Amino acid sequence: MDDMKGGNTPKTNHTITATELKSNLGMYLDNVINDHEIVITKNGKKVVRLTPYITDADRYFLMKEEALDYQYGGKKVSYEEFMEIYEKSDLRLEFINGEIVLLSSPNPIHQEVSGNLFSEFRDYLKGKPCKVFYAPFDVHFRKEGFKDPDVLQPDLLIACDVAEATDEKGRYMGTPVLVVEILSPSTRSKDMVDKLNTFMISGVKECWLVDPDQETILIYGFKDLNIDHFKTYRKQETVRSPWFPDLEIAGTVVFP
C-alpha cells in the first residue's frame, strides 16, 4: 500500500485491499475527500474505485479537458465514448468531429425566431408525410468517408423518414431533409463551418442559417454532397426553399 501521511501527501492514486478499507474506512474516505483516488482490490483483483464526488457539470468539464488532451495527442473521443457519457448525463451535449460540445440555454430572441419558423413549417407540412421537430432532438449524422457520425441537435429540422428510421429505443436515426441553425455569437463559427460541413456530407438537402442580429437567412442547397445552391434573404424579402418549391415564408414573420 502507498504511504498516506497527513496533508502533504501528493494527490495520486492509491491501491488498497478490501480488508484495509474495512479497518481504516474513515481515513480512506478523508483521503478521497482530499482529491485522492483509491482502488480497492479483492483476492488480488481490482474491483472498486473510490473517487471524489463531482456534479454532472463538473464531470463534463473534466471530460472536456481530457478530450482536448486526446486531440492534442493525435486522438479523439470516440462515438461510443460519447454515447456512454451522453446517456448518463442530463446536460445538452453535441458530438462533432470527435469533440463534445456543451450547449447553453437559448436567449428569448432565439426562441421567438425558432417558434415563428416552427409554426410556419408545421402549417406548410399539414397533410404531407414529412414532420418538423425542434431542439432538443438528437440526429446522428453519418458523414461520407467518416467512421463515426456526428450527433447534433439542430434548432429545427424537417424529416421525411421518421417512420422507417426510428429504432427500437424510439431514437430517430435517419437523415433530415432540411435543418435550421439559429446563429448566436458563441456558436456562429461552429454553425457556419463545422456543422454546415456535417450537414452537407451526410446527405441533408437544405440548411438554413438564421441570423437574428442581422435579420438575414442564409440558405444552402446540397446535391451530391456539395453546395448546389446558396442565397441570402433579408427581413423584407420572402424566403423560398430550393428543396420544397412551394415553401415560402415572409421574413417579417420570422424576425420579431
Most confident of the ranges 90-94, 111-115, 190-194:
111-115
Q: What is the pLDDT of residue 87?
A: 84
CATH number of 108-254: 3.90.1570.10
- Grid coordinates belonging to 121: 413549417
| Domain 12-50, CATH number (from 3.40.50.720, 1.10.3720.10, 1.10.10.10, 3.40.1620.10) | 3.40.1620.10
Whole-number average pLDDT of the chain:
83
Q: What is the pLDDT of residue 60?
A: 64
**d(Cα 199, Cα 179) in Å, to the nearest integer?**
8
Most confident of the ranges 74-88, 98-112, 177-191:
98-112
pLDDT band at 13 (very low <50, low <70, confident <90, very high): low
Residue 20 has pLDDT above 60, yes or no: yes
Contact of 174 with 202, CB cutoff 8 Å = no
**CB-based burial label for 137 (10 Å; 0-12, 13-18, 19+):** middle
Residue 234 has pLDDT above 60, yes or no: yes
Q: What is the pLDDT of residue 192?
A: 75
Q: What is the pLDDT of residue 45?
A: 81
The domains of the chain are located at 12-50, 56-98, 108-254
In sequence order, what DSSP letters do the residues of 96-113 get, joined into one string? ETTEEEEPPPPPHHHHHH
Residue 121 has pLDDT above 70, yes or no: yes
Residue 112 has pLDDT above 80, yes or no: yes
Q: What is the pLDDT of residue 114?
A: 96
Of 25-39, 79-93, 120-134, the least confident: 25-39
Helix (H, G, I), strand (E, B) or coil at 163: coil
In the 3-class helix/strand/coil scheme, how is 34-67 assigned residue by residue?
CCCEEEEEECCEEEEEECCCCCHHHHHHHHHHHH
Q: Which residue has the higher pLDDT, 124 or 17?
A: 124
For the chain, percent of residues with pLDDT exceeding 90: 43
Q: What is the pLDDT of residue 9?
A: 39
